[in-house]
């Protein structure tokens, strides 16, 4: 069945219906809209088109993102740095408490919420997501120095569900109501799935104390563990 969608005549009406829970449109027309978005976006946003197609295929299986692609966005690296700084502050405080020749472990995790910038491809894949960072570190004191080493395992994840917000602006299609995705799931024409990605970083650091704590300083060096992805 062939279905056409003219954004120049339907954009205003679809926008207004996007403020409601349902579009009031026949399911085949909604399917045609999303299929046209997939076909129209392959040249400019291939990853977003691929994930929308996976949603429309209805399999529901989770998808693993490319580490390199995901970390190419500043908002992801900023969330990563936020969690790393949290670990660094914890480690600095823990180092102050160590006795000479003493050692200690630190295990903890931090969450950083991510809001993708409008217009980036990440925005069309995942507008809001979460980076969860699990860290495991060992601290050893020798005189005025505390050596720190450890590993942080980052996990980015977000359900692809078209459940948040009222509408999204898609180039060449105008304002598309979020309700379209919900109705397609209800009609068994699409299925939600989990998006996730993992990467690992190592930490080496030294905290050095003078005669007074205020004269102390800490240096930390992070390195990304490379994978094939």
What is the DSSP-derived secondary structure letter of residue 4? -
pLDDT on residue 9? 40
Segments of 68-144 assigned E as strands:
103-115, 128-142
Q: What's the chain's average pLDDT?
A: 87
pLDDT on residue 115? 96
What is the DSSP-derived secondary structure letter of residue 190? -
Confidence of residue 28 (pLDDT cuts 50, 70, 90): very high
Residue 186 to residues 18, 31, 161, 182, 192, Cα–Cα distance (Å):
16, 12, 12, 6, 11
Is residue 13's pLDDT more than 50?
no
**Least confidently predicted of 51-55, 85-89, 171-175, 195-199:** 171-175
Can you tell me the mean pLDDT for 207-228? 80
Is residue 220's pLDDT more than 80?
yes
Can you tell me the mean pLDDT for 131-157? 97
The helix/strand/coil state of 157 is strand
Residues 6+ apart with CB under 8 A from 23: 14, 17, 30, 177, 179, 180, 183
pLDDT digits (tens, 9 = 90+) for 188-215: 999 999 999 999 999 999 999 766 555 6
Structure tokens given for 212: 């007074």
Full-model pTM? 0.84
pLDDT on residue 21? 65
The helix/strand/coil state of 1 is coil
End-to-end CA separation in angstroms for the chain: 39
How many angstroms separate the CA atoms of 177 and 36, rounded? 15
- Cα 44–Cα 33–Cα 19 angle in degrees, nearest 5: 105
pLDDT on residue 228? 55
- Give the Cβ contact number of residue 112 at 10 Å: 21
What is the DSSP-derived secondary structure letter of residue 65? P
Q: What is the CA radius of gyration of the chain?
A: 24
Is residue 10's pLDDT more than 80?
no
How many angstroms separate the CA atoms of 216 and 145, rounded? 10
Confidence of residue 1 (pLDDT cuts 50, 70, 90): very low
pLDDT on residue 153? 98
């Amino acid at each position: 069945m062939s279905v056409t969608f003219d954004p120049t005549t339907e954009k205003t009406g679809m926008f207004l219906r996007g403020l409601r829970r349902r579009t009031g449109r026949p399911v085949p027309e909604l399917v045609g809209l999303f299929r046209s978005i997939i076909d129209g976006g392959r040249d400019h946003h291939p990853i977003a088109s691929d994930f929308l197609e996976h949603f429309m295929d209805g399999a529901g299986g989770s998808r693993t993102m490319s580490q390199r692609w995901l970390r190419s966005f500043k908002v992801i690296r900023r969330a990563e740095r936020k969690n790393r700084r949290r670990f660094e502050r914890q480690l600095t405080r823990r180092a102050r408490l160590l006795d000479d020749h003493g050692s200690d472990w630190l295990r903890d995790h931090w969450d950083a919420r991510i809001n993708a910038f409008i217009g980036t491809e990440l925005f069309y894949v995942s507008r809001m997501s979460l980076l969860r960072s699990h860290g495991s570190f060992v601290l050893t004191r020798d005189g005025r120095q505390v050596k720190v080493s450890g590993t942080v395992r980052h996990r980015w994840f977000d359900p692809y569900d078209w459940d948040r917000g009222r509408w999204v602006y898609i180039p060449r299609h105008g304002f598309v109501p979020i309700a379209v995705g919900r109705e397609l799931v209800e009609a068994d024409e699409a299925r939600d799935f989990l998006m996730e990605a993992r990467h690992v970083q190592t930490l080496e650091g030294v905290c050095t104390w003078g005669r007074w704590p205020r004269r102390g300083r800490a240096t930390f060096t992070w390195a990304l563990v490379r994978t094939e992805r």
